[in-house]
């Protein structure tokens, strides 16, 4: 199932999130570079990019954890700098790194969070029960978190983030490090809570399938800048209807050879030639003939529809798994920029 052609679940014209020329610098290091976008109420919006691209820094500014260097951001009509308290009351957030207390039970973690937000006791207990049921943990509510699997902890963190009934939920790499089956189950929970509660969700991820399945629209962010923003379907269509991948001992020669008008674009990467075109079945015989007539060998050839991985490679010139700084590397760069 993909949500790329889905519409936000409300006709309210006021955006849930509006970002204008938002920038964050640490000395000479620009972590987020003049980005602008808006997110409709009830929308699931994806920020797609490698580690170090600026996803987490963007979330940190929108959630008032870090102040922008310049630019503005409004969350539910509140300015993230001038109205920090109002913003914090209207958002929930689940970070990459776990923030649960392992020595407490699931219920105790939820209860402590509810007390911090001063939710009245009766209301707090009712919501805790409902949310633990929503994420399938009601039977484990009295178990210590240290006995939970990674997937169970992520579900509990999402439930905790919803306890004070936020209008916007930030999910920062919510399925990072989880096995495929657990990740798939968590996707179902995220889609369901969006559908049932109408919560606006901004999701950062470097999992292409996650963005394709969950998000109404996707922004690809690289080196702190948004390079393209649209639905997953439109992004895939923008690079051509079919993808032909050729492995050859001489990829440079193949790339220089294919200049026909029906070729949308050609990329070379790791010894592969990736050709984007319409109606590949009509043109493959001509491609193969031209390559052989020029004495170039073909090791393998495959045809498929574009994926978001192809989109990322097309717009950034690299795959999402390479070239980006890891979280630790990015923090080291920031530390050095501060003169540490």
Residue boundaries of the structural domains of the chain: 17-235, 240-305
**Residues near 123 by beta carbon (within 8 Å), at least 6 away in sequence:** none
| Per-residue confidence band for 255, with pLDDT thresholds at 50, 70 and 90 | confident
CATH number of 240-305: 3.30.70.980
Band of pLDDT at residue 308, cut at 50, 70 and 90: very high
| Cβ contacts of 197 within 8 Å, gap of 6 or more | 162
Q: Which residue has the higher pLDDT, 196 or 42?
A: 42
d(CA 218, CA 205): 10
Q: Average pLDDT for residues 326-337, to the nearest whole number?
A: 43
Dist CA 124 CA 108 (whole Å) = 12
Q: How far is CA 154 from CA 60, 136, 187, 293, in A?
A: 19, 12, 11, 56
Among 87-91, 131-135, 174-178, 297-301, name the one with the lowest average pLDDT.
Answer: 174-178
CATH topology classification for 17-235: Rossmann fold (3.40.50)
Residue 310 has phi, psi (to 5 degrees) of -65, -40
The angle, 0 to 180 degrees and rounded to 10, between the axes of the packed helices 121-134 and 180-197 is: 130
User: For the chain, how far is it from start to end, CA to CA, in angstroms?
Assistant: 47
Number of residues that this document lists for the chain: 340
CA separation for the pair 336, 287 (Å, rounded): 50
Question: What is the three-class DSSP state of 318?
Answer: coil
Domains 17-235 and 240-305 share a fold: no
pLDDT at 211 over 90: yes
pLDDT digits (tens, 9 = 90+) for 50-89: 888 899 899 999 999 999 999 999 999 999 999 999 999 9
The pTM score is 0.80
**Window from 72-76, 134-138, 192-196, 321-325 with minimum mean pLDDT:** 321-325
Q: State the pLDDT at residue 12.
A: 55
* Arithmetic mean of pLDDT, 6-16: 63
Beta bridge partners of 35: 22
- Least confident range from 140-144, 197-201, 323-327: namely 323-327
- Strand pairing report for 217-222 and 44-48: parallel
| Helix ranges (DSSP H) in the chain | 55-62, 84-89, 106-116, 121-134, 150-162, 180-197, 208-214, 232-237, 251-257, 280-293, 308-316, 327-337
212-228 confidence digits (pLDDT tens): 999 999 999 999 999 99
Q: What does the pLDDT look like over 230-239, one tens digit per residue?
A: 999 999 988 8
pLDDT tens per residue, range 171-209: 988 888 788 888 888 888 889 888 888 899 999 988 889
Q: How many other CB atoms are there within 10 angstroms of residue 21's CB atom?
A: 13
Measured CA to CA, the distance from residue 186 to residue 203 in angstroms comes to 13
- Rg for the chain (alpha carbons), in Å? 23
Two structure tokens written together for 238 = 């923008």
* Tokens read off for 166: 């936020």
Is the CB of residue 264 less than 8 Å from the CB of residue 277? yes
Task: State how far the Cα of 103 lies from the Cα of 120, in Å rounded to an integer.
Answer: 24
pLDDT in tens, 80-118: 999 999 999 999 998 877 889 999 999 999 999 999 999
Tokens standing for 340? Answer: 């540490």
Count the alpha carbons within 13 Å of 278 in the hemisphere toward its beta carbon.
4
Q: Cα(260)–Cα(183) distance, rounded to whole angstroms?
A: 42
Residue 278, pLDDT score: 83
Beta bridge partners, 160, equal none
Burial of 71 (0-12, 13-18, 19+ CB in 10 A): middle
Give all strands of the β-sheet with 242-247 in edge-to-edge order.
263-269, 272-277, 242-247, 300-304
* pLDDT for 2: 54
54: tokens are 């600026």
Query: Average model confidence (pLDDT) for the chain?
Result: 87
Q: How many CA atoms lie within 13 A of 82 on its CB side?
A: 7
Question: Bigger pLDDT: 9 or 315?
Answer: 315
- For residue 144, what is the DSSP state? B
């Amino acid at each position: 199932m993909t949500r790329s052609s889905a519409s936000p679940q409300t006709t309210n014209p006021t955006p849930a999130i509006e970002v204008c020329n938002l920038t964050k610098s640490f000395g000479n290091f620009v972590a987020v570079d003049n980005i602008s976008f808006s997110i409709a109420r009830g929308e699931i919006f994806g920020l797609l990019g490698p580690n170090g691209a600026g996803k987490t820094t963007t979330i940190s500014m929108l959630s008032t954890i870090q102040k922008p260097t310049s630019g503005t951001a409004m969350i539910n009509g509140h300015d993230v700098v001038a109205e920090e308290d109002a913003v914090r009351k209207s958002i929930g957030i689940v970070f990459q790194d776990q923030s649960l207390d392992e020595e407490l039970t699931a219920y105790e973690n939820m209860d402590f969070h509810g007390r911090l937000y001063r939710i009245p006791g009766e209301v707090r207990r009712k919501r805790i029960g409902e949310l633990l049921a929503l994420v399938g943990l009601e039977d484990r509510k009295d178990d210590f978190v240290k006995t939970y699997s990674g997937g169970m902890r992520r579900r509990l963190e999402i439930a905790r983030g919803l306890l004070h009934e936020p209008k916007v939920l930030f999910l920062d790499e919510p399925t990072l490090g989880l096995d495929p089956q657990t990740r798939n189950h968590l996707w179902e929970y995220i889609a369901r809570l969006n559908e049932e509660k109408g919560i606006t969700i901004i999701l950062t991820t470097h999992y292409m399938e996650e963005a394709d399945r969950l998000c109404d629209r996707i922004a690809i962010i690289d080196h702190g800048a948004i390079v393209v923003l649209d639905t997953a379907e439109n992004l895939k269509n923008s690079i051509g209807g079919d993808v032909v991948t050729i492995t050859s001992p001489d990829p440079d020669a193949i790339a220089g050879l294919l200049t026909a008008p029906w070729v949308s674009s050609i990329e070379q990467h790791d010894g592969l030639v990736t050709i984007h075109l319409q109606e590949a079945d009509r043109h493959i015989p001509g491609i193969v003939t031209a390559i052989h007539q020029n004495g170039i060998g073909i090791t393998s050839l495959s045809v498929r529809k574009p994926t978001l991985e192809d989109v990322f490679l097309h717009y950034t010139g690299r795959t999402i798994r390479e070239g980006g700084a890891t979280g630790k590397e990015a923090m080291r760069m920031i530390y050095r920029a501060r003169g540490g």
